[in-house]
Chain A
Amino acid sequence: MHQMTTTFVRRLRERDEAAWFELWRAFGPVLRAQLTKWGNGRLGQETVRDLSQETLAALSKSIDRFDPSCGVRFSTWLLAIARHSLSDEIDRRMALKRGAGKRPSHLEEAWMGGLGDGVDAAYEQRIFEAKVAAAIRHAESDADFLSFEIYRMRVFDGRSGKEVAAQMGVSQPTISRNLQQARGHLRTRLREIITTWSFTTEEIAELELAGLDQDDSLFDEALSEIWHRAITVDDTW
């Protein structure tokens, strides 16, 4: 496991609020989307938000027991905690409904449609997209505002170099230089974030599988596709 990963886990264990905030900012939308999916339309927006916060609180209590070296994905562990939070919520509702303390969770597993005993591919895909989105946010902070805006217009919005140059009032070579600068920041940050939040070799390999280690044009294409998927997570709930 990479040293950055262990450092991040150590920061979480030391209750570094900045680290927790980053974690929440990156994976909060994914958690909410997953909880909404499990709820199958029975969980309101506020409940989903509360449950995602409960999941994070439970995670903070049990982070000391997490062993990064055993080869389990952090995201899988996070999902298990979210599932227990949801299960507790369902039990509480059932108990209230029936007026007794009976725990009927085994009857209500049907609520968690699509989960089964394992983790669905869509969830893992969202986790990866969340990491990419976090890397883009960091790269945006690192890069010059103009450079990143040019990259955004050129790559994410799919505008031509000539059109971007006309809007920005600069030449096309300048556009190319700014693109290169922003792309450099993005590549650096992507490697850093993916490494930090990856606990298995499969997770690290996702970068390559997604085409984010290719040449510039393929990198831009792959990043744009992932970015568009990542920012629609909240639209699903």
Chain B
Amino acid sequence: MVITSWLVIGLIVILAAAIVSAALGVVFWQIVTPLIRSCIRVIQWIGTLCLEIVRDLLVAAWNIVVAIALTPAIVGSLLLGRWEAAGSMTRQIGRRFRRTGRRVAGLLTKPADEEVVQAHRTSVSRKSSDQFPGWHVVGALPSGGSGASLHIAEPTSDAPPNSPDRVVIKCFDLTMGSPLSQMIRESRALGGAKRLGLVIDHDLDETRFWYVMRFIPGVHLADAVEGMHAGDVALSGEMLATTLSWARDVTATLHQYHEAGFWHKDVKPENIITNDTGAHLVDLGLVTPLQSAMTLTTHGTEYFRDPELVRQALRGAKVSEVDGAKFDLYSTGAVLYFMVEGTFPAHGNLSRFDRETGDAVRWVIRRAMADYQQRYASASELLADLTFVASAKDPRAVRPADLPSFTHVTPDMHAPPPPTSAMGASVKRPRIEVTDWWTGAYRVLDAVPGMKQKLPNAFSNAIKLRDERRAQRESAREARRARRRASNGGFFAFLVGLLILTTSGYFFFEAISYYASAVNPMAIEVSHDVLPGGEGRALVVNDHPRRVDSMSRVEGQLKQGGWECTSDASLEATFRGHIPFNGTESADFPERARGVMREHALAAAAVISAPSDDPNGVEVVFVTPETMRTYRLQGLAAESLDVQSSP
């Protein structure tokens, strides 16, 4: 029975302990942890703020130094009559001063971050422009010609699910000068881009319109091609294969667009990003439904825009009346020309080829840029030709006659290279049937002999898969590095904030104590010296509870100092009547005492009392019209035998 009751008690105790522990845990987790986290964030914010202030001040100082340094040059230019140069430098100084002003103003509002992320002007520093719900801006990209700002951002907890690690936000802001017409155009294109899965998020309000796209790291095709043609030499076989694979990637993307019922309308080298994973088409600003009822516009880029598009737009044609996909094909051909020749096709389809690229590549380019009616009928046709040439061992050896569009055979897109080594006169030509002997029209009866059945290339797929995984790992690594950098920065800011808080707290309390002692008019100085000297009548009041002769000794010191002492009873009674109930320690005592002194022409008043910690000493509160001090006269009453009978 006893054991059972002990067991029950034990269980109850354990249960109670568990409940209490859980409650404590919940309290700690729900209240204490957030509190600590908030404190840490506040300290971090203080540290960050101080660091930014220091940085802004340094930049402001540097701007001023530059402005001062340029002043002699301006004066010199004015003396030499170089007005434009002087004006230019003056404007530069003006810009720097405006920038300095913004930075100084930023000390009170928000630090100006322009020039930190990019040298060009960016709206990252503007609170209204760089805040996108669900996204945290981490950088900026150079703005294009659309008037929008481009931000690099990372998703926060409010971002849509399955968002990529890094995105690009294109933001139109009317307050920043973005054109309304462009905003409307891009908002129209947004629907199509969303259907294509190219837009992750978007928002539109009275002044702003922004949308989120996947961030594709890499270099622009224009820069990549410039590097390829740097030595003004013909492309190597490897480079030619690379350019063809890029063209194939772009065409495959366009094929997806067209299949979904849209066309890109602005295919050009600046809108293509290349990296290890291939070429990627970006900028969705002009994406248009193929069946749109809108009137065709001439938007696009010269040399990469089909002249037929301009002609039809000038005619006032509707988008649905033309095949927009063919305009994309022309641009793709122009881009491929740019890649293999290193320059833009200044004469359209008549542009000359100076580099040795092979007849098949030239054929593909000319067919893509041919007259509207004679062009490739669809992106899939162009894609088939490009795939065929790109997968060849030697693209330069491929004949136009071997191309799928020529033979009207649709190849397998994942086909192995054709037998280009057997090209030439020894290869058996396809059988054709002449349909019109007069004009020479004919049709091909069979495919090119020697073109084998295409088999999936497992090795290529494995390499592609490996490259994709490598790219993913690299991307994840980069994200981790970015997080680590942010974490280190936060820790540093925390340390700085803590240091600033500690230091400022110390100085704050020091200042408080100093202020209390220095500024308070009621403060009393304690002196261990003799009583001060002076002139005039001084009233002496004895409040010492035990010593009677201490009064005469104090009077002796005062007289020695030049005072004329008085202990008139009526005067003492009047004085005592004005002393507050809590004695000389009252805040009202000095004023009351000075009132009595003024009425009775007294120059000073001394109130004698006994110190609590010194039985042989005397404490004298000495009041003058200007000051009030307490003097501790040690040992003054040590030898006194004149004991008061009552206080």
Contact = CB atoms under 8 A, between A and B. Distances in A.
A145 B374 contact: yes
Contacts of A231: 346-347, 350-352
Given A21-B314, A144-B374, A166 B399 contact: yes
Interface string A13-30: 000011001000100010
Contact of A181 (B370, B432, B440): B440
List the 7 shortest-distance A-B pairs measured between CB atoms, nearest first. A169-B401, A177-B440, A17-B314, A141-B371, A234-B346, A145-B374, A169-B429
A116 interface: no
A99 B366 CA distance: 52
Interface of A is mostly: helix
B350 A167 contact: no
25 contacts: A21-B310, A29-B347, A97-B83, A137-B348, A140-B370, A141-B374, A144-B374, A144-B441, A145-B374, A147-B440, A152-B366, A166-B399, A166-B425, A168-B399, A169-B430, A170-B442, A177-B440, A228-B352, A230-B347, A231-B347, A231-B350, A231-B352, A234-B346, A234-B347, A235-B346
Interface of A: 17-18, 21, 25, 29, 97, 99, 133, 136-137, 140-141, 144-145, 147, 149, 152-153, 166-170, 174, 177-178, 180-181, 227-228, 230-232, 234-235
A140 B350 contact: yes
Interface string B297-314: 000000000010011001
Contacts of A232: 352
Given A99-B83, A136-B350, 10 more contacts: A18-B314, A29-B347, A145-B367, A166-B399, A169-B401, A169-B402, A170-B401, A170-B432, A181-B440, A235-B346
A169 B448 contact: yes
A130 to B, nearest CB: 11
Interface string B332-375: 00000000000000111111100000010001001100110110
Given A141-B373, A153-B359, A167-B359, A181 B366 contact: no
Nearest to B303: A234
Interface residues of B, number: 38
Contacts of B440: 147, 174, 177-178, 180-181
A1 to B, nearest CB: 26
A168 B401 contact: yes
B354 to A, nearest CB: 10
Contacts of A177: 439-440
A149 B346 contact: no
B75 to A, nearest CB: 18
A17 B315 CA distance: 7
Given A178-B440, A181-B440, A166 B366 contact: no
Nearest to B444: A169
A228 B353 CA distance: 11
Nearest to B316: A17
B363 A149 contact: yes
A169 B360 CA distance: 12
Interface in B72-101: 83-84
A141 B375 CA distance: 10
B400 interface: yes
Contacts of A29: 346-347
Interface string B412-442: 0000000000001100011010100001111
Contacts of B406: 169
Nearest to B424: A166
A170 to B, nearest CB: 7
Nearest to B398: A167
B349 A140 contact: yes
A168 B425 CA distance: 11
